[in-house]
Chains A and B, each alone.
Chain A
């Protein structure tokens, strides 16, 4: 059951100890952090507000940890080793981008429990005890830290850009497995996935994100039709600039089979669809 608290923070199954208490999907484009003059400050502020809402939810929901699902833009996971899913088990959790560096508490015990739980549920994630996370983590976490995020963080790194990537359905199923682990262990977590929406960095389509696809996907998620998203092939995701939405599928899967998203914001920046949704 989903309710709206007086401060607007959604609360789901608040009486249950273990489980995934809330979910968000947010964009993480570098420009949201660097705020170049070409971008609308009001729209960037809406993105920042979305990030801050994640931190408030973590506080209101008294989570044991915040799982943040993002990617690695060929920094740590260069072509000498490309794991599909990596759980960061170290502490501190360090993210860095463009002279900004943040450090947060991890929770190695919970992160290792998550790995064990995923192994029991048919997944074989890699793990890392020491890597600096990139802008896909830093951009949203920066604003969550400003908002007072105190919960320990468990990062999950997904291979979004180096084929062959995991199917988006596999990502959704990973989310289901995360929820199963949380419920079985009595662990209360929140989850935020970062990425998307449509964009084509480093290609001739950089200035032509598929805005129609953004609205189509947002419509599916608002209608609770997650199946349409997770039915997409890797080639289809690539064609509409949504290879990063694999991260979204993990968060969506973790929140159950009948998830219905609420849109906080969406803006076509001209190179990327910036969005924040909650569910």
Chain B
């Protein structure tokens, strides 16, 4: 692919299930906490994710995830969540109350 040399290359279609797993943990704090306590249980619910990717994620192998070609933003937000306890969750934080609210 023409942009494979980029720092932020086009995500590989074959890695969609891996990115989905990372995204689920990024956006679902309960799932993330469960992963910290029992990674095998969470990873076992993602049969489409290959064993190599599961091992990288279970071992918090950020460099390995980079070498695998996973999206850097997904990696760094996983890393921030793990290493700094930084909650990167946004999309499932439910903006459901559609009312006029002034901060």
A contact set with B: CB distance below 8 Å: 30, 34, 72-76, 78-79, 90-92, 94, 96-99, 101-105, 129-135, 145, 150, 161-164, 200-206, 235, 238-239, 241, 243
Is there a chain A Cβ closer than 8 Å to B23's Cβ?
yes
> How many interface residues does B have (CB within 8 Å)?
41
Q: Are A202 and B3 closer than 8 Å at their CB atoms?
A: no
Q: Are B66 and A204 closer than 8 Å at their CB atoms?
A: yes
Q: Are A75 and B86 closer than 8 Å at their CB atoms?
A: no
Q: What residue in chain A is nearest B70 (Cβ atoms)?
A: A202
Q: What residue in chain A is nearest B72 (Cβ atoms)?
A: A202
Given contacts A97-B88, A162-B71, contact A238 B103 (CB under 8 A): no
The SS class assigned to the A binding surface is loop
Q: What residue in chain A is nearest B13 (Cβ atoms)?
A: A79
* Extra pairs beyond A132-B95, A202-B75, A238-B7 (13, CB < 8 Å): A73-B73, A74-B71, A90-B95, A91-B98, A92-B97, A92-B98, A92-B100, A94-B95, A104-B102, A105-B102, A163-B9, A164-B10, A201-B76
Q: Which residues of B contact A132 (CB under 8 A)?
A: 90-91, 93-95
Q: Are A75 and B26 closer than 8 Å at their CB atoms?
A: yes
Closest CB in chain B relative to A9 CB, distance in Å: 22
Q: Which residues of A contact B10 (CB under 8 A)?
A: 162-164
Q: Which residues of B contact A130 (CB under 8 A)?
A: 95-96, 98
Q: Are B6 and A163 closer than 8 Å at their CB atoms?
A: yes
Q: Which residues of B contact A200 (CB under 8 A)?
A: 7, 72
A-B contact pairs, 16 of them (CB 8 A): A30-B80, A74-B71, A74-B73, A75-B27, A75-B90, A79-B20, A97-B90, A101-B93, A103-B103, A105-B102, A161-B8, A161-B73, A163-B8, A164-B3, A200-B72, A239-B6
Q: Are B102 and A241 closer than 8 Å at their CB atoms?
A: no
**Interface residues in B51-83 (C-beta closer than 8 Å to A):** 63, 66, 71-77, 79-80
Given contacts A74-B74, A79-B19, A205-B7, contact A92 B90 (CB under 8 A): no
Given contacts A74-B74, A238-B6, contact A102 B66 (CB under 8 A): no
Q: What residue in chain A is nearest B16 (Cβ atoms)?
A: A79
B contact set with A: CB distance below 8 Å: 3, 6-11, 16, 19-20, 23, 26-27, 63, 66, 71-77, 79-80, 86-91, 93-103
* A131–B93 alpha-carbon span in the complex (Å): 9
* A97–B73 alpha-carbon span in the complex (Å): 15
Q: Are A92 and B101 closer than 8 Å at their CB atoms?
A: yes
Q: Are A79 and B11 closer than 8 Å at their CB atoms?
A: yes
Q: Which residues of A contact B63 (CB under 8 A)?
A: 204
Q: Are A134 and B66 closer than 8 Å at their CB atoms?
A: no
Q: What residue in chain B is nearest A91 (Cβ atoms)?
A: B100
* A105–B95 alpha-carbon span in the complex (Å): 13
Q: What residue in chain B is nearest A102 (Cβ atoms)?
A: B103
Q: Are A239 and B90 closer than 8 Å at their CB atoms?
A: no
Closest CB in chain B relative to A217 CB, distance in Å: 17
* A264–B17 alpha-carbon span in the complex (Å): 44
* A75–B27 alpha-carbon span in the complex (Å): 7
* A102–B6 alpha-carbon span in the complex (Å): 35
Closest 3 CB pairs of A and B: A202-B72, A202-B76, A75-B90
Given contacts A96-B93, A98-B87, A134-B90, contact A150 B74 (CB under 8 A): no
Q: Which residues of B contact A133 (CB under 8 A)?
A: 90
Q: Which residues of B contact A79 (CB under 8 A)?
A: 11, 16, 19-20, 23
Q: Are B100 and A238 closer than 8 Å at their CB atoms?
A: no
* A217–B96 alpha-carbon span in the complex (Å): 40
Q: Which residues of A contact B103 (CB under 8 A)?
A: 102-104, 145
